[in-house]
């Protein structure tokens, strides 16, 4: 075994040979210079694990190449490794385990397949997968899961600041993923880089159809399902001359698509609750829909006579009330029919889900009370219905009317017929 005082001069003197060889330092036991036939030279340190004695196999740690690490720095690094070994550490084993450690991407796949796919709804799995694979994995995927820092997740969150809702959902999913990893011992208990990152303020979008818009919407649906909605043909295009005659240029809305739009408006149900509705879920005798698996679990929807009539008028040509192209599968969406109707009704910036909000807003504005609205919508928590609190203004309107009438009377400005509550002496204080 060749030994010498390893210094920069030793590096220059060590020439490549036919086979790889190692020159060891004559002062720091275990510190060595490895020379390869290719001419590459690297610093190494060899040791036996603490407590193993001479029976234990030697372990080797590569410190770096001679180009990246000067002899003085390599000696210090080797001394640090050997000191750690004397205190019970095993650097080579730790490095090996680190290489095998779960990456962020691997943890994401385990979380999706072992937790979300088995305990959440398919649509939730689809949403979680998009948030992780499209937003988080491209940036954090190759990092060791246990070594991802809060600063890195915060920077990723900042990257999507222009879409605050999606950025916040991504942050929540990363937090849930690390909670899963902690429960299964995949990362240490104190590792969750999504913790204590402030979320963006979300401006809840509120859009309700006015009475005039509802009238135009209904007219457009009736026109579409009867005579059809006229096409808009660009006569300047080369294919324009091949279009059918103008009296034939109309789009007819299928009866099931028209019925779906009416049911969404008349029941306040969610889109999937209507599209996935099967005939066995309809209770004509009690005027109810018994949905076995909605977003909030098992749910019953009370049908008004108008909604019940819409369902009763539909032909049973599928296992689903709203028949799709495949009688054995639910319809996927209403994107094209909805776009067609909105354009004909000249209504802008309205989503299908806004029909549910409109249903709730009409009930709240009529003074029915938030608990009743919540039950009709199938909310499991009162806080969810609270978003319509500002529309529940009937009691407030009566209250402000009474107060205003009393003040106006006291000021001598009361109009005829107003209900006046006389002020008692000392009441104003």
Q: Which residues are 62's β-sheet partners?
A: 44
- Give mean pLDDT, residues 153-180: 95
Convert the pLDDT of each residue in 132-154 to its tens digit.
999 999 999 999 998 899 999 99
pTM of the model: 0.57
**How many CA atoms, within 13 angstroms, populate the side-chain half-sphere of residue 128?**
22
Average pLDDT over the chain, rounded to an integer = 84
422: its two tokens = 């006389």
Convert the pLDDT of each residue in 288-305 to its tens digit.
899 888 777 788 888 889
Per DSSP, the three-state class of 89 is coil
Of the ranges 44-48, 311-315, 336-340, 405-409, which one carries the lowest mean pLDDT score?
405-409
Whether the pLDDT of residue 121 is over 90: the answer is: no
Whether the pLDDT of residue 243 is over 60: the answer is: no
Q: Which of 384, 274, 398 is nearest to 334 (CA)?
A: 274
More confident residue, 206 or 39: 39
Q: What is the pLDDT of residue 393?
A: 56
Q: What is the pLDDT of residue 161?
A: 93
Alpha helices in 160-208 (DSSP H): 164-183
CB 405 within 8 A of CB 398: no
More confident residue, 268 or 321: 321
More confident residue, 101 or 27: 27
Q: Which of 325, 206, 306 is nearest to 264 (CA)?
A: 306
Convert the pLDDT of each residue in 207-227 to its tens digit.
888 889 999 999 999 999 999
User: In order of start, what are the domains of the chain with their CATH numbers?
Assistant: 2-100 (3.30.160.390), 104-183 (1.10.150), 211-235+245-391 (1.10.443.10), 395-429 (no CATH)
Q: What is the pLDDT of residue 365?
A: 65
Whether the pLDDT of residue 422 is over 90: the answer is: no
Residue 325 to residue 335: CA distance in whole angstroms: 15
Of the ranges 107-111, 186-190, 245-249, 334-338, which one carries the lowest mean pLDDT score?
245-249
Q: What is the pLDDT of residue 416?
A: 43
Write out 360-386 in H/E/C secondary structure: HHHHHHCCCCHHHHHHHHCCCCHHHHH
Q: What is the pLDDT of residue 57?
A: 83
The percent of residues in the chain predicted with pLDDT above 90, rounded, is 49
Q: What is the pLDDT of residue 423?
A: 47
Q: What is the pLDDT of residue 118?
A: 86
CB 313 within 8 A of CB 307: no
Convert the pLDDT of each residue in 257-277 to its tens digit.
999 999 998 888 889 999 999
Q: What is the pLDDT of residue 168?
A: 95
Q: What is the pLDDT of residue 383?
A: 58
């Amino acid at each position: 075994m060749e030994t010498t005082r390893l210094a920069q001069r030793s590096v220059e003197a060590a020439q490549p040979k036919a086979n790889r060889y190692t020159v060891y330092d004559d002062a720091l036991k275990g510190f060595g210079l490895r020379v390869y036939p290719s001419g590459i030279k690297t610093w190494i340190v060899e040791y036996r694990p603490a407590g193993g004695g001479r029976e234990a196999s030697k372990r080797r740690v590569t410190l770096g190449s001679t180009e990246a690490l000067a002899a003085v720095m390599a000696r210090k690094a080797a001394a640090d490794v050997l000191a750690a070994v004397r205190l019970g550490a095993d650097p080579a084993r730790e490095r090996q385990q680190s290489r095998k450690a779960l990456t962020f991407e691997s943890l994401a796949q385990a979380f999706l397949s072992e937790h979300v796919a088995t305990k959440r709804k398919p649509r939730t799995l689809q949403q979680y997968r998009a948030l992780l694979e499209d937003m988080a994995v491209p940036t954090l995927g190759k990092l060791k899961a246990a070594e991802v820092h809060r600063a890195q997740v915060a920077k990723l969150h900042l990257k999507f600041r222009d879409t605050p809702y999606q950025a916040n959902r991504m942050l929540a999913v990363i937090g849930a993923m690390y909670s899963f990893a902690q429960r299964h011992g995949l990362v240490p208990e104190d590792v969750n880089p999504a913790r204590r990152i402030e979320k963006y303020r979300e401006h809840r979008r509120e859009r309700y159809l006015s009475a005039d818009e509802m009238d135009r919407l209904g007219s457009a649906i009736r026109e579409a399902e009867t005579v059809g909605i006229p096409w808009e043909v660009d006569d300047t295009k080369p294919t324009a001359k091949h279009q059918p005659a103008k009296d034939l240029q109309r789009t007819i809305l299928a009866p099931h698509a028209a019925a779906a739009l009416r049911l969404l408006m008349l029941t306040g149900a969610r889109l999937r609750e209507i599209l996935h509705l099967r005939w066995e879920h309809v209770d004509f005798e009690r005027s109810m829909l018994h949905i076995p698996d909605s977003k909030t679990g098992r749910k019953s929807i009370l049908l008004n006579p108008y909604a019940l009539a819409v369902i009763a008028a539909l032909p049973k040509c599928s296992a689903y009330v709203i028949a799709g192209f495949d009688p054995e599968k639910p319809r996927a969406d209403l994107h094209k029919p909805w776009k067609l109707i909105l354009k004909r009704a000249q209504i802008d910036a309205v989503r299908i889900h806004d029909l549910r909000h409109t249903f709730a807003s009409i009930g709240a504005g009529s003074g029915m009370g938030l608990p009743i609205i919540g039950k009709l919508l199938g909310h499991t928590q009162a806080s969810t219905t609270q978003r319509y609190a500002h529309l529940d203004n009937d009691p407030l309107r009566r209250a402000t009317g009474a107060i205003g009438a009393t003040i106006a009377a006291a000021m001598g400005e009361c109009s005829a017929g107003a209900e006046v509550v006389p002020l008692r002496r000392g009441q104003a204080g």
